[in-house]
């Protein structure tokens, strides 16, 4: 039976073409290749970025802002744990919230001068990067305090410092980069 279109004319059908079966291995290789390309692209951006003096100025400013956030984080953490007897993990989360709000505002206006971008969009990205860095911070804090029995405040100081490089790169490349504006 031949299919008919409107008005009774005969419509030609395309021959059935069997699609080649997609192999799981090929799909995994494609995903791995995309991940490798993305990773090399980021590493290339970082490498090329190290050659630009303005990026070093931004890194310095980011460090200054981070230093102020670091101090704010530790002051709030100390007040919560020492004066209010808040558990060190909850205190770390609360002190993080205060410090990240400070850091976003100053980095947006001073470090990256990204005021032409949408503040809400940038804040969401900044917060995402910061939460991921907080995850690194909390794992390190847990390991230092609960596993290694190190004192809380020095452990928090070290954990925050070790999460800083992740924070800078995420915010430089994603939050306040060209795509984040």
Q: What is the pLDDT of residues 26-73, one digit of tens each?
A: 777 788 888 888 778 877 776 776 678 888 888 889 989 988 998 999
Give residue 63's domain range. 53-180
Residue 20's φ and ψ, nearest 5 degrees, are -65, 135
Is 39 part of any domain? no
pLDDT level of residue 134 (50, 70, 90 thresholds): confident
Judged against a pLDDT cut of 60, whether residue 13 lies above it is answered with no
C-alpha–C-alpha distance, residues 121 and 181, integer Å: 8
What is the reported pTM?
A: 0.59
pLDDT level of residue 15 (50, 70, 90 thresholds): low
Is 142 part of any domain? yes
Is 114 part of any domain? yes
Is 7 part of any domain? no
Is 84 part of any domain? yes
The H or E element containing residue 103 is helix 88-106
C-alpha–C-alpha distance, residues 155 and 74, integer Å: 11
Task: Please give the radius of gyration of the chain, using alpha carbons only, rounded to the nearest integer.
Answer: 25
C-alpha–C-alpha distance, residues 61 and 16, integer Å: 63
C-alpha–C-alpha distance, residues 95 and 100, integer Å: 9
C-alpha–C-alpha distance, residues 178 and 159, integer Å: 30
Token pair of 58 as six digits: 């931004």
From residue 48, give the alpha-carbon distance in Å to each of 52, 111, 119: 7, 19, 28
Is 26 part of any domain? no
C-alpha–C-alpha distance, residues 131 and 113, integer Å: 22
Is 173 part of any domain? yes
Judged against a pLDDT cut of 90, whether residue 3 lies above it is answered with no
Residue 103's φ and ψ, nearest 5 degrees, are -65, -40
Max CA separation in the chain (angstroms): 87
Number of domains in the chain: 1
Judged against a pLDDT cut of 60, whether residue 122 lies above it is answered with yes
Judged against a pLDDT cut of 70, whether residue 16 lies above it is answered with no
Q: Which residues contact 73 (CB under 8 A, 6 or more apart)?
A: 95, 96, 98, 99, 156, 160
Is 6 part of any domain? no
């Amino acid at each position: 039976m031949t299919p008919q279109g409107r008005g009774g004319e005969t419509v030609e059908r395309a021959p059935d073409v069997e699609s080649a079966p997609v192999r799981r291995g090929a799909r995994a290789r494609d995903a791995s290749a995309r991940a490798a390309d993305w990773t090399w692209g980021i590493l290339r951006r970082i490498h090329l970025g190290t050659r630009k003096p303005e990026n070093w100025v931004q890194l310095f400013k980011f460090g200054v802002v981070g230093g102020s956030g670091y101090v704010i984080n530790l002051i709030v953490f100390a007040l919560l744990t020492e004066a209010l007897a808040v558990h060190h993990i909850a205190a770390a989360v609360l002190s993080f919230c205060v410090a990240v709000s400070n850091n976003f505002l100053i980095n947006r206006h001073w470090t990256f001068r990204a005021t032409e971008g949408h503040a809400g969009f940038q804040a969401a990205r900044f917060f995402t990067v910061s939460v991921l860095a907080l995850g690194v911070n909390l794992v390190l804090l847990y390991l230092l305090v609960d596993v290694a029995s190190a004192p809380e405040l020095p452990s928090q100081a070290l954990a925050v410092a070790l999460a800083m490089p992740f924070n800078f790169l995420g915010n430089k490349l994603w939050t306040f980069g060209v795509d984040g504006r």
